[in-house]
Chains A and B, each alone.
Chain A
Amino acid sequence: MESYRQKSDAELVKFSLEGDKQAFGEIVNRYQGMVARTVKGMLGDSVFSEDIGQDVFIKLYYSLSDFRGEAKLSTYIQKIAVNLTLNEIKRRKRFFSTFSQKGNNEMYEFEVADYDTEEKKEARELVGKALMSLDPKFRVIVTMRMLQGYSTKETAEILDLPLGTVLSRLSRAQEQMKEILGKL
């Protein structure tokens, strides 16, 4: 595995397309943190989010041949992660609006890891609750900004949105976030 760590993304993609599973494993290692922040940031920190995370890499594996290398591999993976997560949010919304009268709040779960200190647990819980209270169209923008550190231009590219839309949504998301945090 050590030798794969030195390889570039393009080399890893090439080896993966030739059937080298270890090369694909290195792609998973390299980008699982990024995918975890997107998926868990938008869906909540639960085992179900982990399944979506796996789906992201499985979809990547079967669509690697479509990756032309024009954009960065991280952008390509991020797009898959955002799309699958938004689909999951829609699916859950449909499910809960059909089978539950309690609203959508119950669709998110928090499983704060045991290894965290009390202070870190509180911090993660606060961020998790605040994110889940946001409208999904704002949540995705906030996740890209706050948990991934993307600029508005990068966010617009990943979400396939005009820059103006991202800027206005970010501004509205900040207002909504102020309100939410005031109540927490």
Chain B
Amino acid sequence: MRISELKLLIIRSLDIDGDPEKGLRGLEEAGVDYRFSDGFRDKVLGRIASAGNTVVREMESVRNLNNVFSRIALTGVAAIVILLISIFMVQGSLSLDSFLGLGNSYDESLVYLLTGN
């Protein structure tokens, strides 16, 4: 097909009233067709497989992190319980003052401690 004919075909293929299939066939006959390279399917499947492995690795690291976190959380809760029991045994109550270690202090002693006078 000559270039002038091809140009005409391109313009006619864009006619609103024209048959788009006819234009497409004409261009294909002229050699206007696009393809991906050989092995395209395998490349796509390869990328999906490698992306899948990444997802599995991410899931494993999240699971490991959760395990570590639950162990830390359990140890933390146990430490808090022991602290509460020890405060109760030493101070005799679980008030805010007891938590702050001020259970047996008088106001004057506090002023002295804070100001030095």
Contact = CB atoms under 8 A, between A and B. Distances in A.
A119 B40 contact: no
A41 B34 contact: yes
Contacts of B31: 116-117, 119-121, 123-124
A173 B14 contact: yes
A126 B7 contact: yes
Interface string A106-141: 000000010011011111101100100000000000
- Most chain A beta-carbon neighbours within 10 Å: one of B11, B20, B21, B43: B20
Interface string A33-71: 101110111000100001001100110010000000000
Contact of B15 (A35, A41, A121, A174): A174
Contacts of B16: 152, 167, 170-171
Interface residues of B, number: 33
Interface in A128-158: 130, 142, 145-152
B48 A123 contact: no
A121 B11 CA distance: 19
Contacts of B43: 54
Nearest to B8: A181
B56 to A, nearest CB: 13
B14 A174 contact: yes
Contacts, number: 113
Mostly, the A contact residues are helix
Q: Which of A50, A123, A149 has the most CB of B within 10 A?
A: A123
Interface residues of A, number: 50
B100 interface: no
Given A53-B36, A123-B31, A126-B6, A170 B14 contact: yes
Nearest to A146: B13
A28 B44 contact: yes
A130 B3 CA distance: 13
B32 A174 contact: no
19 contacts: A21-B49, A25-B44, A28-B45, A32-B41, A36-B36, A37-B34, A50-B36, A50-B40, A57-B44, A116-B31, A123-B27, A123-B30, A126-B6, A127-B6, A146-B10, A148-B24, A149-B25, A170-B14, A178-B11
